[in-house]
Amino acid sequence: MRRTTIKSGFSTTIQGMKMNTTLRNLTIGLAAALALAASVGATTVNLNPDDPTWGTVTFETNPLTGTLEQSHGGQTQTWGYAITYTPGQYAIDHNLWFVATGISAGGFNNAYASQHPEVFDFPVIAPASMPGDPYTAYYTVAPAIATGNLFQIQWKTGLPYVVDETGFFILSGEMWTGNSFDGLAKFADAAPVSTPYAASAPEPVSLILLGTAFSVAYWTRRRRKSA
């Protein structure tokens, strides 16, 4: 009887340990998933990988996840952006500005990338007055949010039912120094920063044909039942 009690207690202990391990793994997995979800669409890098005192730049898309709503063949879609420059002490001491110089993306198979230069407005962002305080500007020295259109595509026609375009936007920039917007001179290249994007589109004609096929099948089946 005593042996049975010990065995039963041992079994209960093992089951409890397994349950605790499972709960712990679920908790760790959930925390990792939440951290990944929070980071998608917004990326922060050191402007100088060898010297963190230069500060950081955060590049994020609008929508934040980088994923646009599903569109249709022939339609145009646009991503937006937000860029935040957080200068470090070195950048403050040398009055370094962040100047966006380019935006690129991977090749598109089912859409045309816009060739209009006015889509992205190449913001110039002044340094903050205090280290560690994010400061964003949009072609000005006054505090403002550096936001605007980032990238635009037009979907091709004659697409299969659903097609996807995924990849990374890569923002390039430079560090400039000076006392005003008009008196800036290039100081150094800034580290590039990337953030993911995704878009998808079904072809309207395909959807119409699919709907028609379902309708024909439905009414054919009803007529057979009636007969």
Q: Which pLDDT score is estimated for 15?
A: 45
Q: Say if residue 123 is in the same domain as residue 214.
A: yes
According to the model, what pLDDT value does residue 92 have? Answer: 84
116 near 154, Cβ under 8 Å? no
Pair (112, 101) in one structural domain: yes
The answer on 123 and 51 residing in a single domain is yes
Residues 147 and 198 in one domain: yes
Q: With bands split at pLDDT 50, 70 and 90, how would you rate the model's confidence at 221? A: low
* pLDDT for 174 beyond 60: yes
Closest C-alpha to 152, from 124, 123, 122, 120: 120
Q: What is the pLDDT of residue 78?
A: 94
**Same domain (yes/no): 192, 98:** yes
125-129 — which CB contacts under 8 Å span 24+ positions?
A: 125/83, 125/85, 125/97, 125/98, 125/99, 125/100, 126/85, 126/97, 126/181, 127/55, 127/85, 127/87, 127/91, 127/92, 127/95, 127/96, 127/97, 128/85, 128/86, 128/87, 128/92, 129/92
30 and 78, same domain (yes or no): no
What domain count does the chain have? 2
Contact 48, 54 (CB under 8 A): yes
pLDDT, tens only, 79-129:
999 998 888 889 888 888 999 999 999 889 999 998 676 789 888 888 765
- pLDDT tens for 133-149 read 554 444 333 333 578 89
Judge if 33 and 79 occupy the same domain.
no
- 63 and 149 part of one domain: yes
Q: Tell me: do 3 and 54 sit in the same domain.
A: no
Q: Which pLDDT band, with edges at 50, 70 and 90, does 25 fall under?
A: very low
- Domain of residue 72 covers 40-226
Claim to verify: residue 2 and residue 108 sit in the same structural domain = no
118: CATH: 2.60.40
* 28 and 85 co-located in one domain: no
29 and 129, same domain (yes or no): no
